Amino acid sequence: MGEDSKLIGEYGEKSVENFLNLIGWLEPLKAIGFGCNSNEHLNRKGNQKKTHGLDFFYHYISPLVDSVLHKIHISSKYSDKAYPNSPNTKFIEHCEDLFTAMDCFEKSERSKEIMRSIRNYSQIENIGVLFWLSSNPDTYFDLIPKVASSLIRFDSNYDKLFVVDNKRIDFIYRAITFCQASFPSKDLSFYYPDTGKNINPLTKKNYGKVLPVEYINTSILPIRIEDTQSGVTNLILLSIDPFEKEDLKRLIDLSQRLSNSWTGKVVIAFKTYNEVRNGADVRLVKSLFESRKTKEDLIITSYDNSFIKLQE
């Protein structure tokens, strides 16, 4: 049983590592072990922990907030069992494992060595990312709403926590691979909108290869596709939700604001869309917009694939 558990864990870490590569978090530190320096960090038997581990660690300067260094501490929890019907207890356990590891990692020599090599930031955000994934085909996908109300009472040196469940990793995987397959020889980047906090003209970027951590459990993913030979730029907006008329209206309005000066197409892709069932609704929504370009250069479609392929 122990060997099975170890194999499942390694399988999960491989899935997460492949996903990190997909979103531009290239060559993260992995399988980091370090000592515990707090007598308040206890193991399951109530004894003081001797060591901690992080599955991955990645850092980057935020493109959404000027001069902020994001230090991403990543824990991968993967099982061949279905998500629990009442997941809060296990969720808090996973979070406490991650938070205690973050606390001690920040005080470790490895962390200090990393920090000495980084420049051009004035503020640090310590961020935890918990991947809790299940390969069970009969499990529910949407874990986050079930654990959102959990009260994590823990004194930790973290600024934000992001949870990635089956639904979120599946969406981002499907979205990116759809864009790669649809525009195979084009340059794909993640779009960085104006936030009011990324205003420094010397460092401002409108797009890039690194997915901001704020997008990792997003419901709308904006992707920029550029044909470097022709200079034509397309905007792809991908929604985690099935097709709905009201959602389409909001996404068309968003696309107009994001791609105001772009020359290419706008593609809006839903989790489900069918021309026969939904085509009339699309034509109705398009008629509500006056812009001819919106009507002619707008494509509505769906995406499909499965994050299970990340294990390969």
Q: Is residue 169 part of a domain?
A: no
Residue type, 102: M
Say if residue 231's pLDDT is above 90: no
**What Rg value do the Cα atoms of the chain yield, rounded?**
21
Max mean pLDDT among 6-20, 93-107, 146-160 falls in 93-107
pTM of the predicted structure, to 2 decimals: 0.90
In a domain, 118, yes or no: yes
Mark which of 164, 189, 215 sits at the end of a domain: 164
**Cα 26 off chain centre by:** 14
pLDDT band, residue 312 (cuts 50/70/90): very low
* pLDDT reading at 192 higher than 90: yes
Give dist(CA 183, CA 233) in Å, integer: 11
Q: Are residues 212 and 150 in the same domain?
A: no
Q: Where are the alpha helices (DSSP H) in 123-197?
A: 144-147, 166-182
Which pLDDT belongs to residue 246? 96
Instruction: Tell me: do 274 and 216 sit in the same domain.
Output: yes
Claim to verify: residue 41 and residue 160 sit in the same structural domain? yes
The answer to whether position 287 is within a domain reads yes
Identify whether residues 207 and 252 lie together within a single domain: yes
Range of the domain at 300: 174-311
> Tens of pLDDT along 275-292?
899 999 999 999 999 888
Chosen domain end from 115, 140, 164: 164
Is residue 232 situated within a structural domain? yes
Q: Do 39 and 128 sit in the same domain of this protein?
A: yes
253 closest CA partner among 278, 277, 220: 220
In contact, 223 and 259? CB cutoff 8 Å:
no
Residue 156's pLDDT is 63
The answer to whether residues 38 and 62 belong to one domain is: yes
Q: How far apart are CA 5 and CA 287, in angstroms?
A: 55
Residue 277 DSSP SS3 = helix
β-strands 233-239, 207-208 pairing:
unpaired
Q: Are residues 77 and 143 in the same domain?
A: yes
pLDDT, position 2: 45
Beta strands in 101-215 (DSSP E): 123-134, 160-164, 187-191, 207-208
Residue 223 domain-assigned (yes or no): yes
For residues 98-106, give the mean pLDDT. 92
Residue 254 in this model has a pLDDT that exceeds 80 = yes
Task: Answer yes or no: do 137 and 179 share one domain.
Answer: no
pLDDT digits (tens, 9 = 90+) for 56-69: 999 999 999 999 99
Tokens of 24: 């531009």
Co-location of 184 and 104 in the same domain: no
Residue 243 falls within a domain, yes or no?
Answer: yes
In a domain, 258, yes or no: yes
pLDDT (average), residues 209-214:
98
Q: Quick one: CA dihedral 255, 171, 19, 162, positive or negative?
A: positive
Q: Lowest mean pLDDT of 3-12, 16-25, 144-153, name the range.
A: 3-12
Residue bearing tokens 């392929």: 309
d(CA 4, CA 110): 31
Handedness of CA 307, 193, 59, 185 (dihedral sign): positive
Q: How far apart are alpha carbons 301 and 268 in whole angstroms?
A: 6
Sheet containing 266-270: which strands, arranged edge to edge? 207-208, 187-191, 220-226, 233-239, 266-270, 298-302
Q: Is residue 307 part of a domain?
A: yes
Mean pLDDT, rounded, for 7-21 = 81
Task: Find all residues with CB under 8 Å of 69, minimum gap 6, and list them.
Answer: 59, 60, 61, 62, 118, 121, 123, 124, 125
93 shares its domain with 181: no
Last residue of a domain, one of 140, 164, 188: 164
Question: Both 88 and 109 in a single domain?
Answer: yes
The 10s digit of each residue's pLDDT in 28-45 is 999 999 999 877 786 776
3 state SS of 3: helix
Q: How many domains are there within the chain?
A: 2
- Asked whether 291 and 256 are in contact (CB, 8 A), the reply is yes
